[in-house]
Amino acid sequence: MAVIRSNYKPPFWYRNAHWQTIFPAVFRRLDPGIYTREKIFTADGDFLNLDWVRSGAQSCVILSHGLEGASNRGYMLGMANYLSNNGYDVCAWNFRGCGDEMNENLRMYHSGFTSDLQIVIDHIAKSYDQIYLIGFSAGGNISLKYLGENPAVVNSAIKACIAFSAPTDLGACSKELEKPSNFIYQKRFLKLLGEKIVIKEQQFPEHVSSHKYNQLKTLREFDDRYTAPFFGFKDA
Protein backbone atom coordinates (compact mmCIF):
# COMPACT_ATOMS: atom_id res chain seq x y z
CA MET A 1 0.00 0.00 0.00
CA ALA A 2 1.37 3.41 -0.95
CA VAL A 3 2.01 5.91 1.80
CA ILE A 4 0.36 9.23 1.03
CA ARG A 5 2.24 12.07 2.68
CA SER A 6 0.14 15.04 3.68
CA ASN A 7 1.36 18.62 3.41
CA TYR A 8 -1.30 19.84 5.81
CA LYS A 9 0.01 22.40 8.28
CA PRO A 10 -2.39 23.46 11.03
CA PRO A 11 -2.57 27.08 12.21
CA PHE A 12 0.04 27.91 14.83
CA TRP A 13 -2.58 27.96 17.59
CA TYR A 14 -3.79 24.47 16.61
CA ARG A 15 -0.51 22.58 16.43
CA ASN A 16 -0.70 20.96 19.86
CA ALA A 17 -2.11 17.42 19.69
CA HIS A 18 -4.01 17.77 22.97
CA TRP A 19 -5.60 21.01 21.80
CA GLN A 20 -6.64 19.36 18.53
CA THR A 21 -8.36 16.66 20.60
CA ILE A 22 -10.03 18.83 23.23
CA PHE A 23 -11.04 21.92 21.23
CA PRO A 24 -13.57 20.28 18.86
CA ALA A 25 -14.96 18.07 21.64
CA VAL A 26 -15.71 21.12 23.77
CA PHE A 27 -16.53 23.84 21.27
CA ARG A 28 -17.82 22.16 18.10
CA ARG A 29 -21.60 22.06 18.10
CA LEU A 30 -23.62 20.46 15.31
CA ASP A 31 -27.32 19.70 15.10
CA PRO A 32 -28.15 15.99 15.61
CA GLY A 33 -31.56 16.73 14.12
CA ILE A 34 -30.24 15.68 10.73
CA TYR A 35 -30.72 12.05 11.75
CA THR A 36 -33.65 9.69 11.39
CA ARG A 37 -33.55 6.83 13.91
CA GLU A 38 -33.95 3.17 13.00
CA LYS A 39 -33.85 0.43 15.62
CA ILE A 40 -32.89 -3.08 14.58
CA PHE A 41 -32.99 -6.16 16.78
CA THR A 42 -30.31 -8.78 17.28
CA ALA A 43 -30.62 -12.55 17.56
CA ASP A 44 -29.51 -12.46 21.21
CA GLY A 45 -32.46 -10.32 22.28
CA ASP A 46 -30.80 -6.92 22.11
CA PHE A 47 -31.03 -3.96 19.73
CA LEU A 48 -28.89 -1.48 17.81
CA ASN A 49 -29.79 2.13 17.10
CA LEU A 50 -28.96 3.32 13.59
CA ASP A 51 -29.10 7.04 12.83
CA TRP A 52 -29.61 7.85 9.17
CA VAL A 53 -29.11 10.72 6.78
CA ARG A 54 -30.85 9.69 3.56
CA SER A 55 -31.14 11.48 0.25
CA GLY A 56 -31.99 8.58 -2.05
CA ALA A 57 -28.36 7.87 -2.96
CA GLN A 58 -27.22 4.59 -4.48
CA SER A 59 -24.29 4.21 -2.07
CA CYS A 60 -24.21 4.14 1.73
CA VAL A 61 -21.42 4.96 4.16
CA ILE A 62 -21.47 3.30 7.59
CA LEU A 63 -19.89 5.44 10.31
CA SER A 64 -18.51 3.74 13.44
CA HIS A 65 -17.68 5.98 16.40
CA GLY A 66 -14.89 5.75 18.94
CA LEU A 67 -14.64 4.55 22.54
CA GLU A 68 -17.56 5.99 24.53
CA GLY A 69 -18.65 7.94 21.49
CA ALA A 70 -22.02 7.97 19.76
CA SER A 71 -23.69 9.09 16.57
CA ASN A 72 -24.23 12.58 18.05
CA ARG A 73 -20.53 13.38 18.50
CA GLY A 74 -19.21 16.28 16.49
CA TYR A 75 -16.87 14.20 14.37
CA MET A 76 -19.72 11.84 13.46
CA LEU A 77 -22.16 14.63 12.65
CA GLY A 78 -19.54 16.53 10.68
CA MET A 79 -18.68 13.50 8.58
CA ALA A 80 -22.36 12.62 8.09
CA ASN A 81 -23.08 16.15 6.88
CA TYR A 82 -20.12 16.15 4.50
CA LEU A 83 -20.94 12.77 2.99
CA SER A 84 -24.63 13.58 2.62
CA ASN A 85 -23.77 16.80 0.81
CA ASN A 86 -21.55 14.83 -1.55
CA GLY A 87 -23.98 12.21 -2.75
CA TYR A 88 -24.00 9.44 -0.13
CA ASP A 89 -26.59 8.07 2.23
CA VAL A 90 -25.12 7.76 5.72
CA CYS A 91 -25.76 5.37 8.59
CA ALA A 92 -24.14 6.42 11.87
CA TRP A 93 -24.73 3.49 14.19
CA ASN A 94 -24.38 3.37 17.96
CA PHE A 95 -22.51 0.57 19.71
CA ARG A 96 -24.50 -1.26 22.37
CA GLY A 97 -24.92 0.96 25.41
CA CYS A 98 -23.82 4.09 23.54
CA GLY A 99 -25.94 7.07 22.60
CA ASP A 100 -29.15 7.93 24.39
CA GLU A 101 -30.36 4.42 25.25
CA MET A 102 -28.79 1.63 27.27
CA ASN A 103 -28.88 -1.81 25.67
CA GLU A 104 -30.79 -4.74 27.17
CA ASN A 105 -28.09 -7.40 27.53
CA LEU A 106 -25.22 -7.61 29.99
CA ARG A 107 -22.46 -7.10 27.47
CA MET A 108 -21.99 -3.85 25.62
CA TYR A 109 -19.01 -3.60 23.22
CA HIS A 110 -15.24 -3.63 23.02
CA SER A 111 -12.69 -2.47 20.47
CA GLY A 112 -12.42 -5.89 18.83
CA PHE A 113 -16.12 -6.80 18.79
CA THR A 114 -17.13 -7.06 15.13
CA SER A 115 -20.35 -9.06 15.37
CA ASP A 116 -22.58 -6.00 15.66
CA LEU A 117 -20.92 -4.30 12.70
CA GLN A 118 -21.62 -7.48 10.73
CA ILE A 119 -25.29 -7.21 11.69
CA VAL A 120 -25.44 -3.58 10.59
CA ILE A 121 -23.71 -4.30 7.28
CA ASP A 122 -25.93 -7.26 6.45
CA HIS A 123 -29.01 -5.20 7.25
CA ILE A 124 -27.93 -2.27 5.07
CA ALA A 125 -26.77 -4.51 2.22
CA LYS A 126 -30.41 -5.44 1.63
CA SER A 127 -30.90 -1.92 0.26
CA TYR A 128 -27.50 -0.91 -1.14
CA ASP A 129 -25.11 -2.55 -3.57
CA GLN A 130 -22.23 -0.26 -2.61
CA ILE A 131 -21.26 0.24 1.03
CA TYR A 132 -18.26 2.06 2.44
CA LEU A 133 -16.95 1.87 6.00
CA ILE A 134 -15.52 4.78 7.97
CA GLY A 135 -14.39 4.26 11.55
CA PHE A 136 -12.95 6.57 14.16
CA SER A 137 -10.57 5.28 16.84
CA ALA A 138 -12.19 2.14 18.30
CA GLY A 139 -14.66 2.19 15.42
CA GLY A 140 -11.74 2.21 13.00
CA ASN A 141 -10.25 -0.80 14.71
CA ILE A 142 -13.56 -2.66 14.58
CA SER A 143 -13.95 -1.85 10.88
CA LEU A 144 -10.46 -3.05 10.00
CA LYS A 145 -10.79 -6.18 12.12
CA TYR A 146 -14.10 -7.01 10.44
CA LEU A 147 -12.40 -6.90 7.04
CA GLY A 148 -9.36 -8.89 8.08
CA GLU A 149 -10.46 -11.55 10.53
CA ASN A 150 -12.45 -13.64 8.05
CA PRO A 151 -12.34 -12.22 4.50
CA ALA A 152 -14.48 -15.06 3.17
CA VAL A 153 -17.57 -13.74 4.99
CA VAL A 154 -17.07 -10.03 4.28
CA ASN A 155 -20.20 -8.77 2.58
CA SER A 156 -19.61 -8.29 -1.14
CA ALA A 157 -21.27 -4.87 -1.01
CA ILE A 158 -18.27 -3.46 0.90
CA LYS A 159 -16.14 -1.46 -1.53
CA ALA A 160 -13.67 0.44 0.67
CA CYS A 161 -12.81 1.36 4.25
CA ILE A 162 -11.21 4.38 5.93
CA ALA A 163 -9.99 4.23 9.53
CA PHE A 164 -9.01 7.32 11.50
CA SER A 165 -6.62 6.94 14.45
CA ALA A 166 -7.37 3.23 14.80
CA PRO A 167 -5.78 1.60 17.91
CA THR A 168 -4.74 -1.54 16.04
CA ASP A 169 -2.32 -2.46 18.85
CA LEU A 170 -4.68 -2.24 21.80
CA GLY A 171 -2.04 -3.21 24.35
CA ALA A 172 0.32 -0.46 23.24
CA CYS A 173 -2.52 2.07 23.14
CA SER A 174 -3.57 1.11 26.64
CA LYS A 175 -0.04 1.78 27.87
CA GLU A 176 -0.05 5.17 26.13
CA LEU A 177 -3.24 6.12 27.93
CA GLU A 178 -1.60 5.26 31.23
CA LYS A 179 1.10 7.88 30.72
CA PRO A 180 0.74 11.06 32.84
CA SER A 181 0.40 13.19 29.70
CA ASN A 182 -2.79 11.32 28.79
CA PHE A 183 -4.30 11.24 32.28
CA ILE A 184 -7.23 13.48 31.36
CA TYR A 185 -8.44 11.12 28.61
CA GLN A 186 -8.26 7.98 30.72
CA LYS A 187 -10.05 9.72 33.57
CA ARG A 188 -12.78 10.86 31.19
CA PHE A 189 -13.25 7.37 29.74
CA LEU A 190 -13.47 5.82 33.21
CA LYS A 191 -16.06 8.40 34.28
CA LEU A 192 -18.29 7.69 31.29
CA LEU A 193 -17.89 3.92 31.64
CA GLY A 194 -18.61 4.16 35.35
CA GLU A 195 -21.96 5.78 34.67
CA LYS A 196 -22.85 2.81 32.49
CA ILE A 197 -21.73 0.30 35.11
CA VAL A 198 -24.18 1.87 37.57
CA ILE A 199 -26.99 1.23 35.07
CA LYS A 200 -25.76 -2.31 34.39
CA GLU A 201 -25.73 -2.95 38.13
CA GLN A 202 -29.40 -1.98 38.23
CA GLN A 203 -30.16 -4.24 35.27
CA PHE A 204 -28.08 -7.21 36.45
CA PRO A 205 -27.45 -6.88 40.20
CA GLU A 206 -26.39 -10.53 40.43
CA HIS A 207 -23.62 -10.04 37.85
CA VAL A 208 -22.44 -6.44 38.14
CA SER A 209 -21.18 -4.41 41.07
CA SER A 210 -20.00 -0.81 41.10
CA HIS A 211 -18.52 -1.27 44.58
CA LYS A 212 -15.10 0.38 44.78
CA TYR A 213 -15.34 1.42 41.13
CA ASN A 214 -13.50 4.65 41.94
CA GLN A 215 -10.44 2.58 42.83
CA LEU A 216 -9.99 1.69 39.16
CA LYS A 217 -7.20 3.80 37.69
CA THR A 218 -6.80 2.46 34.14
CA LEU A 219 -8.88 1.14 31.26
CA ARG A 220 -6.98 -2.13 31.54
CA GLU A 221 -8.29 -2.51 35.09
CA PHE A 222 -11.80 -1.72 33.86
CA ASP A 223 -11.52 -4.35 31.14
CA ASP A 224 -10.20 -6.95 33.58
CA ARG A 225 -13.10 -6.34 35.96
CA TYR A 226 -15.97 -5.82 33.53
CA THR A 227 -15.33 -6.19 29.79
CA ALA A 228 -13.51 -9.53 29.99
CA PRO A 229 -16.11 -11.38 32.10
CA PHE A 230 -18.99 -9.79 30.17
CA PHE A 231 -17.61 -11.34 26.98
CA GLY A 232 -16.33 -14.59 28.46
CA PHE A 233 -12.62 -13.71 28.42
CA LYS A 234 -10.17 -14.56 31.18
CA ASP A 235 -8.80 -11.02 31.31
CA ALA A 236 -8.04 -8.04 29.12
User: Tell me, what's the pLDDT at 6?
Assistant: 81
User: Tell me, what's the pLDDT at 123?
Assistant: 98
Q: pLDDT below 50 — which residues of the chain?
A: none
Coil, helix or strand for 131? strand
Q: Is 205 exposed, middle or buried (0-12, 13-18, 19+ CB in 10 A)?
A: exposed
Distance CA 45, CA 176 (A): 36
Domain with CATH 3.40.50.1820 in the chain: 28-168
Q: What is the CATH number of domain 28-168?
A: 3.40.50.1820
The dihedral region occupied by 163, where left means phi > 0, alpha psi between -120 and 50, and beta the remainder, is beta
User: Tell me, what's the pLDDT at 27?
Assistant: 87
DSSP secondary structure string for all residues of 31-95: -GGG-EEEEEE-TTS-EEEEEEE-SS-SEEEEEE--TT--TTSHHHHHHHHHHHHTT-EEEEEE-
